[in-house]
Chain A
Amino acid sequence: MFRLIMPLFFIIISIVYLVLTFDLPKAKIGNANGPLYFPALIGFFLLIMSVIYLFQEWKKRKEVIEEVKQLLTGRTPYLIAATLILIFIYAFLFERIGFLYSTMLFLGALLFVVNGKKHWLQNILVAVIFSIVTWYSFAELLSVSLP
Chain B
Amino acid sequence: MGIDFQNVIEGLMVAIQPANLLWVMIGGFLGTVVGMLPGLGPATAVAVLIPITFGMDSTSALILMAAIYYGAMYGGSRSSILLNTPGDGSAIAAAFDGYPMTKKGQAGQALTMSAIASLIGGLFAIAGFLLLAKPLASFALEFGPAEYFLLFLFTLSAIVSLSIGNMVKGFISMSIGLMLSTVGIDLQTSVYRFTFDIPQLSEGIDFLVVIIGVYAVAEVLYNYLHLDRLKPANNKVGKKGISKEQWKRSKWPIIRNGPIGFLIGVLPGAGGSIASMLSYTTERQISKHPEEFGKGAIEGVAAPESSNNAASVGAFIPLLTMGVPGSGTTAVILGAVIMLGLRPGPLLFENNPDTVWTLVNSMFIGNLFLVLLNILLVGLLVRILNTPPKILYPLILVLAFIGTYTLSYSIIDFYILVIFGLIGLAMKLLDFPIAPLILALIVGSDMEQNFRKSLVAHDNILNVITASSVTITLAVMTVLSIAYPFIVSWFKKRKAKAA
Could you list which residues of chain A lie within 8 angstroms of chain B, going by C-beta atoms?
6, 10, 13-14, 17, 20, 24-25, 27-31, 34-35, 37-39, 42-43, 45-46, 49-50, 52-53, 56, 65, 67-68, 70-71, 74-76, 79-80, 83-84, 87, 90-91, 94-95, 99, 103, 106-107, 110-111, 114-116, 122-123, 126, 130-131, 134, 138, 142-146
Name the 4 nearest CB pairs between A and B, nearest first. Answer: A27-B189, A46-B175, A91-B414, A38-B448
Known: A53-B169, A114-B393, A144-B54. A70 touches B225 (CB 8 A): yes
Which residue of chain A lies nearest to B398 when distances are taken between CB atoms in the complex? A107
Known: A25-B191, A34-B189, A56-B168. A87 touches B414 (CB 8 A): yes
Is B135 in contact with chain A by the CB < 8 A criterion? no
Known: A35-B191, A67-B429. A94 touches B186 (CB 8 A): no
Complex CA gap A114/B225 in Å reads: 12
A28's contact among B166, B189, B228, B390, by CB below 8 Å, is which?
B189
Complex CA gap A74/B188 in Å reads: 52
A146–chain B nearest beta-carbon distance, Å: 7
Most buried by B among A95, A123, A126, A138: A138
Known: A68-B429, A115-B388. A138 touches B402 (CB 8 A): yes
A145–chain B nearest beta-carbon distance, Å: 8
Most buried by B among A28, A45, A80, A116: A80
Residues of A within 8 A of B429 (CB): 65, 67-68, 71
> Looking at chain B, what size class is its interface with the partner chain?
35 or more
Is B5 in contact with chain A by the CB < 8 A criterion? no
Is B210 in contact with chain A by the CB < 8 A criterion? no
A34–chain B nearest beta-carbon distance, Å: 6
Q: Which residues of chain B in 368-424 are interfacial with respect to chain A, using CB atoms and an 8 Å cutoff?
A: 388, 390-391, 393-395, 397-399, 401-402, 405-406, 409, 411, 414-415, 418
B365–chain A nearest beta-carbon distance, Å: 22
Residues of B within 8 A of A14 (CB): 175
B324–chain A nearest beta-carbon distance, Å: 18
A54–chain B nearest beta-carbon distance, Å: 10
Residues of A within 8 A of B171 (CB): 45, 49
Q: How many contacting A-B pairs (Cβ < 8 A)?
A: 155
B417–chain A nearest beta-carbon distance, Å: 9
Is B172 in contact with chain A by the CB < 8 A criterion? yes
A91–chain B nearest beta-carbon distance, Å: 4
Most buried by B among A38, A65, A90, A144: A38
Interface of B is mostly: helix
Known: A37-B455, A76-B225, A143-B55. A94 touches B398 (CB 8 A): no
Q: Is the CB of A39 within 8 A of B224?
A: no
Residues of B within 8 A of A43 (CB): 179
Could you list which residues of chain B lie within 8 angstroms of chain A, going by C-beta atoms?
51-52, 54-55, 166, 168-169, 171-172, 175-176, 178-179, 182, 186, 188-194, 221, 224-225, 227-228, 388, 390-391, 393-395, 397-399, 401-402, 405-406, 409, 411, 414-415, 418, 425, 428-431, 447-448, 451-452, 455-456
Q: Is the CB of A42 within 8 A of B168?
A: no
Complex CA gap A119/B456 in Å reads: 65
A55–chain B nearest beta-carbon distance, Å: 9
Complex CA gap A134/B225 in Å reads: 28
In the complex, 30 of the A-B residue pairs with CB atoms within 8 angstroms, ordered by the A residue number, are A6-B430, A10-B172, A24-B191, A27-B188, A31-B456, A34-B189, A35-B191, A38-B452, A39-B179, A46-B179, A65-B429, A70-B225, A71-B225, A71-B429, A79-B224, A80-B224, A83-B397, A87-B418, A91-B411, A107-B395, A110-B397, A111-B390, A114-B394, A115-B388, A123-B391, A131-B398, A138-B406, A142-B55, A144-B51, A144-B406
Q: Is the CB of A142 within 8 A of B168?
A: no
Q: Is the CB of B189 within 8 A of A35?
A: yes
Known: A24-B193, A142-B52. A34 touches B395 (CB 8 A): no
Complex CA gap A95/B391 in Å reads: 25
